[in-house]
Amino acid sequence: MDDRMVVLTRAGVSLVLDLATPGLPRVLHWGAALDGLDDDARTALRSAALPTRRGGAPTEPAAPTLLPAQVDGWVGRPGVAGSRGRAWSHPRLVPFDVAVDDASVRVRSRDDAAEVSVVSELDLDPSGVLLVRHTLTNAGDTPWSVGGVRAVLPLPDHALELMHFTGRWSLEKAPQREAFVHGIRSFESRRGRTGHSSTGLLIAGSAGFGYGAGEVWSVHAGWSGWTVHDAERMAEGWSTLGAGELLAGGEVELAPGESYATPVVYFGYADDGLDGLAQRLHSHLRARPQHPSTPRPLVLNTWEAVYFDHDVDKMKRLADVAAAVGVERFVVDDGWFLGRRDDHAGLGDWYVDPDVWPQGLHPLVDHVRSLGMQFGLWVEPEMANSRSRLAQEHPEWLLHLPERTPREWRHQHVVDVADPDAYAYLLKRLDDLVSEYDIAYLKWDHNRDLLEAVHDGHAGVHEQTLAVYRLLDELRSRHPGLEIESCSSGGARVDLGVIQHTDRVWASDTNDPIDRQAIQRWTKQLLPPELVGAHVGPAATHVTGRVTSLELRCATALFGHAGIEWDITECDDAEVATLTRWAAEYKRLRPLLHTGRTVRAEDTHPERLLHGVVGDGHAVFSYVTLATLRTDIPPRLRLPGLDPGVRYRVVALPALSNSVSRFGVPPRWLADGGIELPGRVLSTVGLQAPLLGTGEVLTLELTAL
């Protein structure tokens, strides 16, 4: 065995590190699996992969290491930044210990003169996702100020395109594509939460990569505070993907012996396009010990049903209809606590308002449980209104300098969760609420960015984020059955940091199924469907005003952790019947939807979307027309991801499909009640699509024969 090289290979992915260097290991390869390399092949690989020296260049050509630095001739963004006073801004880290097993490597390095050391941990998990974390320790006797520590990996020359995401409130996860040209493309979030416009995943790919084809490489920082994701292509010929926490000046200053650990950074690779990359990420998350293991209960959330108008009798009637439809979890949203008649007051005062609930929440909770449903509650612990007891009695608990209060946002300020007294208050109030009402689920909201966040006189986002994680963990430790949703004005805190401490995310505050089709499609590039909340709202969406069919709303919510957010006491008999059929279909299909492979057909016609979930001998697909088609005869439905050698029975699901004869004669296969064809035919030849109107849907179930 050549002990000068480390080759990690798992699930079709390889990482190759060259240890025969004076400094940190060089990364010779990250991507497609390199199986069966003997010692001769490893030696040849090193020779083949190291760069040619150009005249006038450094004696030792630059090449990406685990933490690229100028000592290596690296003039791009460095892996480590920091200083001791005005000295030692360029550590020269030298390895002194390398520990390797079949799927991981740990490299311990130090710079004795600069008096810093680093432990670099790389784990290639069974799904092929590479987890990278660096821990920097101050080994000197004076403070070391951390400027930043990033995880960085190289890309091959044929990674020619970039994909990243932007968005805003109620329209998250909008994809953007561009050529990967020379220079650095950096995506920095300074919102104190992940942010509606956060890229989430930064993806590089071969030319023309799509859902089912092409090589793709991705990076994601698992952190809910400030982050940076970057792609850099240098004139020297190197290309890299990197990510990490973005630190403000002086935010992390290490006393002698103290350490700073980066967030886990997740690197993904697939040779079968975006769907292959999504499957690796989903498999990684599903393998976690804390991943939800029970069926995801059908939810009713009261927000768009009642807003702040809380009345126990109205809530009981809503619960009655919800239980009759098939709801399994009833969640009371904003408006239940002291003085909360609008969004100007109440945040921070986590006591049930006796003026609205004179007997507390018990009458409603008892009624909900008598109907066989779980009870859930909305909270926003990290915020306080100016008109609240917390803000009036404890202004020192707010996250800012006392003499420099930042501007209000939504009539609220941020609670300094890292303050021990504020933390203790929040933990006690939440613990008491969960205990008194035996709450099964908390919708944990976070409705503003953090501006001028100062804790104990210095930048405070880093400590705030860690404190929130601790608070979530402590609450769940005290109440092992408790589930928590990460909501942040919708999808503004969706990342693999917060998801380690919660059980699902709220993808967006809009329930408009047209917009939700894209929001959920791209949120699920990172997260599997069972972690993405998706609700059926009223016909006229409250956020956009768009009117859509109930079938489309139900079909859209089906492909997630499904729920209802609608005053269903006002539904007519036909609407209740449709919701009841949909609820039954969701319960029947969720074993597939929440374990299968998410697949998407290529967007050859922008007016329509075709996506589905494929399992072992079972699949569900949804075909949606987003705009008027440009052809009289719709394009065929070519269903991706099926087993080519398996014969499937294909049928439409009536509760999740609009009338297919509204605009003309349905295709023969549909008029006949279904069809039987091999997966190879369904994927290549496809099925004639019906004539659907704008905003209509056809949902298909496939069963192996």
Beta strands (DSSP E) in 248-334 are 253-254, 259-261, 265-270, 299-301, 329-332
Measured between alpha carbons, how far is 129 from 14 in angstroms, rounded to an integer? 10
Measured between alpha carbons, how far is 165 from 405 in angstroms, rounded to an integer? 32
Query: 366, 374, 375, 408: which is closest to 391 by C-alpha?
Result: 408
Torsion from C-alpha of 441, 374, 540, 611, nearest 10 degrees: 70
Q: What is the pLDDT of residue 621?
A: 98
| Residues 127, 147 contacting (CB under 8 angstroms) | no
pLDDT per residue as tens digits for the range 76-115: 999 999 999 888 788 999 999 999 998 999 999 999 999 9
Per annotation, catalytic residue among 111, 503, 509, 512? 509
Identify the bridge partners of residue 133 per DSSP, sorted by sequence position: 121
Secondary structure (DSSP) of 21-53: SSSSPEEEEEEE------HHHHHHHHHHHSPPP
Stretch 527-540: mean pLDDT: 98
Q: Could you tell me the pLDDT band of residue 418, with boundaries at 50, 70 and 90?
A: very high
Stretch 394-421: mean pLDDT: 93
CA atoms within 13 A on the CB side of 353: 20
Whether the pLDDT of residue 586 is over 60: the answer is yes
Q: Could you tell me the pLDDT band of residue 404, with boundaries at 50, 70 and 90?
A: confident
What is the overall mean pLDDT for the chain? 95
Q: What is the pLDDT of residue 57?
A: 64
Q: What is the pLDDT of residue 661?
A: 59
Stretch 541-568: mean pLDDT: 98
Q: Could you tell me the pLDDT band of residue 59, with boundaries at 50, 70 and 90?
A: low
445 is catalytic: yes
pTM of the model as a whole: 0.97
Secondary structure (DSSP) of 231-266: EEE-TTS-EEEEEEE---TTSSEEPTT-EEEPPPEE
Whether the pLDDT of residue 1 is over 90: the answer is no
Measured between alpha carbons, how far is 437 from 444 in angstroms, rounded to an integer? 17
Q: Which two tokens stand for residue 18?
A: 């060259």
94 burial level (CB within 10 Å; 0-12, 13-18, 19+): middle
Q: What's at 435, amino acid-wise?
A: S
Q: Which residues neighbour 223 within 8 Å (Cβ) at sequence distance 6 or greater?
A: 244, 245, 263, 465, 495, 497
Q: What is the pLDDT of residue 55?
A: 64
| Lowest mean per-residue pLDDT among 22-26, 259-263, 626-630 | 626-630
| Residues 387, 344 contacting (CB under 8 angstroms) | yes
Residues recorded for the chain: 705
Q: What is the pLDDT of residue 53?
A: 67
Q: What is the pLDDT of residue 496?
A: 98
Secondary structure (DSSP) of 140-181: SSS-EEEEEEEEEEEE-TT--EEEEEEEETTEEEEEEEEE--
Query: 189, 69, 63, 199: which is closest to 134 by C-alpha?
Result: 69
Residue bearing tokens 């109930």:
550
Identify the bridge partners of residue 694 per DSSP, sorted by sequence position: none
Proportion of the chain in helix, strand, coil states, percent, rounded to 5:
25, 30, 45
Query: 493, 529, 527: which is closest to 509 by C-alpha?
Result: 493
Torsion from C-alpha of 197, 226, 120, 104, nearest 10 degrees: -40
**3-state class (DSSP) for residue 391:** helix
313 is catalytic: no
Which of the two residues, 425 and 59, has the higher pLDDT score?
Answer: 425
Q: Could you tell me the pLDDT band of residue 662, with boundaries at 50, 70 and 90?
A: low
Whether the pLDDT of residue 312 is over 90: the answer is yes
Per annotation, catalytic residue among 445, 449, 495, 503? 445
Tell me phi and psi for residue 619, to 5 degrees.
-155, 155
| Residues 464, 225 contacting (CB under 8 angstroms) | yes
Tell me phi and psi for residue 91, to 5 degrees.
-60, 145
**3-state class (DSSP) for residue 136:** strand
Stretch 481-509: mean pLDDT: 98
Tell me phi and psi for residue 413, to 5 degrees.
-120, 175
pLDDT per residue as tens digits for the range 16-34: 999 988 899 999 999 999 9
Full set of structural domains in the chain with CATH: 5-286 (2.70.98.60), 379-505 (3.20.20.70), 601-704 (2.60.40.1180)
Report the 10 Å Cβ neighbour count for 158: 12
Element holding 658 (H helix, E strand): none
Stretch 129-154: mean pLDDT: 97
